[in-house]
Every structure is written in structure tokens, then in C-alpha cells.
Amino acid sequence: MIWLDYAISITWLSPIFYLFVLLFGKYFYRKRKSDLLKAKGPVDKNISKMIFQIPTIGNVESVNKIFETVKSYDLSMPIETWVVIEEWNTHKTEYDCDKVIVVPKDFECEDLYKARALEYSRRLRVQMVAEGKLDSNYLLLQGDDDAVPSLGFIKESLNVSADISIGTITPKVAGIWSTIIDYERCVACGIFCNFFTNMGQPLWAHGEGTVMSSKVDQNVSYDISTFTHNKKLKLISSEDAFYFHKAAVMGYNIFNSEERVFIMPPLTMKDAVTQRRRWLWGQLRILNQKLLPLPNRIRLTAIGFSGLWLYTVAMIGLPLNYLGIISLPGYLLPLTFATLLLWFGMRFYIIGKAMGWKHGLFGAAASYITVTLNFFVHLVGLLQGDPRNFEVIRKQ
């Protein structure tokens, strides 16, 4: 089975591929940042204000803290805070914000749950602009109720002329297991998001911290009928990935910033399974229901799920190698050891850059623990099946 020998070899040598993606991602980031700084686009001194929007089902304390933090930033424009909630939310008067947007129970669109709330608030701004109640030259800072966009990210978003800017996910420290399971999000951002997003072909998207121009907000909806004629389908989850893929397909430019957006990792392993299950099945649903064009679906399948299938093949290769079922080409053996060190080095660099060198060292040392944890969390979520709703986890 020579083909299996080479399949395992290629899998074990994948850190070389990751290194090239990382280096070219750094190049694309710097080039795009330089180009966008020179360009004259929607981000300029004529912006009237920034609307900072957080959809939530409760989480009053965390939402208020996030608003307080961002409003304390020294920015060149006023920030208007919006919280988007459902009618049944009993905390309507407890949010310390400028506007509480309540999604009517009878509001219907092509989306459900969080996507439905985001589409309602988006349509509300479209209506407000049409009625002259909102200046058409605004910026939308969209976040989650467990995420704090850094001052550096917001300022960089103001200085580039991208239609959409996305920040780099950085987990807060919340216990050993809670923190290290989200080291993978740092690594994913540092390797894949920088490369694909700044090349103009987004892979994932992070609703935790996004700045978009009013042009995007006014013209790009969460409606899925752009890509499917099945009126029975609804967008249930992975709304961020769908939205930014759709914006890219429509010709809007998306910039991935290396500046940080701080997120609260899942506080328990059960929450981690719930969260990853929602993301996994949301992406599988996008693929299965063909909610994006074929090139986008191929990219999401081949690269977006690469960590899971590469881990599976690589781990299967270990017993096969020691049992003598496969025989790796001798000239590749030195390279496999070199790529192991390379993998540790890349993780140290990426995690350390976002969270400090101590986390970088720990992230490198705990690489296989972290990767294995994420694999089994995704596997449990896969075996549990499609939740068919928007599962939430504890944020505070």
C-alpha cells in the first residue's frame, strides 16, 4: 500500500504547508494594510459615528462591561451603543446603552435565532437612513456578548479603507482547560485567516469583532435566497461565515487585522462541546444545503475542516507505522522530525504574539493536548447530531 505510505507522510509533513501559509499570510496582511492605507474608501473623516451593536439573549453584566470598555477608548468619532434582544428578554431596562432594539415576535425573514436578530437590526438601519433618521455615512462595529474588541483593532479598522475588517481572536485566561482549548482559535487566525481573508477569499469569519462600512450594512443582507431557491431553508447558525462569504462574493473587500479581539472561552467542557457543535453543524448545513457558491464550499471543506481530517489521518499513521503496516520512505524521516519542531515553533510564535511569551511556551508544550481536546470536542458534537437550533453557552 505505497499510496498509504505517502498519504501518511504528506500528512506528517503538513507543518511545512502551514509555514508557507503563515509567511504568505503575513505578506498579504502587510501588503493589503499598506494598499488600504493609501486608498480612499468608506473609512474617512466624514464618518458621522460608529454604531457598536451586540445581539444577546441576556448577559446584562457582560454586555454592560463591554460597552463601558469600548466607550472609554480614545476614538475620533462618537460611539452609539445598541443591544439587540428578543421580545421575551426580561432585562430590557437593564442594559446601559443608547438603544435597545427589540426584535418583534412576528418578524419573519430567511433567518432564525441570532441571524434573524442581526437581519432585523440591519433592516432597521436601512429604514432609518431612508427616513433621514440616520446619517448614511456610519460604521458598524459588530460584536458578541462575550468579546471585547481592542483599541488597536478599532483604530486599525478606522485607518484602512476596507469594507469589512475582522480582528484576530485572542482568548482571555479563564482556567487552564478553558484557556488552552481556545489556543486553537489563535492558531487558526494566525495561519489561515491572515492568508485567505487578506487574499480576498475568506475562510471563516468572526462575529466577535467586526467593523463594516454602512455600504456593506445597507446592501448585504443575511438572506440566503441569493444562493438557494429552496424557500423552506433558513439560516440557523454560522451566520458570520455566511455573511462575510456573501459580502466577498458581492465584491466587497475584507481585511483581516492582526490586532486583537478578546473572547471568553467556553467555561466548561460541556460548553465547549455545545459551542463547537453549533459551529460544526452550521458549516455542514451551509455545505449540505448549498448556501454558498461551489468555490466557497470547496474552500470551506478542504481547508476549513483540514485540522480535523489531518489529525485523523496523522493519528491513524502512528499505530500503522509501529505495526509495520506502512513504511515511510527513509529520506522523509528527518523531515518528519523537523516538521514536529516547526509545528512547536509556529504555535509558540502565533500564541505568544497574541497572548504573551509565557502562553506561547505553554501553547507549544501543550500542542498535542490542545489539538486532541479540540478533536474530541468536535467528534462528540458530530456524533450528537445537528442541534437544528442555536445552542448558547454560559458567558458570565
The three-class DSSP label of residue 131 is: coil
Tell me, what's the pLDDT at 10?
84
Measured from the Cβ of residue 46, the count of other Cβ atoms closer than 10 Å reads 8
Burial class (CB in 10 A: 0-12, 13-18, 19+), 90: exposed
In order of their start, the domains of the chain are: 2-18+304-384 (no CATH), 21-268 (3.90.550)
Distance of CA 14 to the CA centre of its chain: 23
Residue (of 365, 113, 299) closest to 222 by Cα position: 113
The C-alpha cell that represents 220 in the structure block? 448585504
Residue (of 306, 284, 307) closest to 297 by Cα position: 284
Q: What is the spatial distance between Cα 166 and Cα 62, in angstroms, rounded to a whole number?
A: 21
Measured from the Cβ of residue 175, the count of other Cβ atoms closer than 10 Å reads 10
Cα separations (Å) of 172 from 101, 179, 263, 324?
Answer: 28, 7, 6, 44
Per-residue pLDDT of the chain (396 residues; tens, 9 = 90+): 577 887 888 888 899 999 999 999 999 999 888 887 765 544 455 789 999 999 999 889 999 999 999 999 999 899 999 999 999 999 999 999 999 999 999 999 999 999 999 999 999 999 999 999 999 999 999 999 999 999 999 999 988 889 999 999 999 988 787 888 999 999 999 999 999 999 889 988 888 899 999 999 999 999 999 999 898 999 999 999 999 999 999 999 999 999 999 999 998 889 999 999 999 999 999 999 999 999 999 999 999 888 888 888 888 888 888 888 888 777 777 888 899 899 999 999 999 999 999 999 999 999 989 999 999 999 999 999 999 999 888 766
Measured from the Cβ of residue 181, the count of other Cβ atoms closer than 10 Å reads 21
What is the model's pTM? 0.92
State the DSSP code for 111.
B
- Which amino acid is located at 28 in the chain? F
The C-alpha cell that represents 344 in the structure block? 512547536
> Which value, to the nearest 10 degrees, does the dihedral of the CA atoms of residues 196, 200, 204, 210 take?
120
| Residue 165, strand partner residues | 211, 255
Phi, psi (rounded to 5 degrees) for 280? -60, -50
Query: Is the distance from CB of 151 to CB of 132 less than 8 angstroms?
Result: no
**Who contacts 212 (Cβ-Cβ below 8 Å, separation ≥6)?**
139, 140, 142, 163, 164, 165, 247
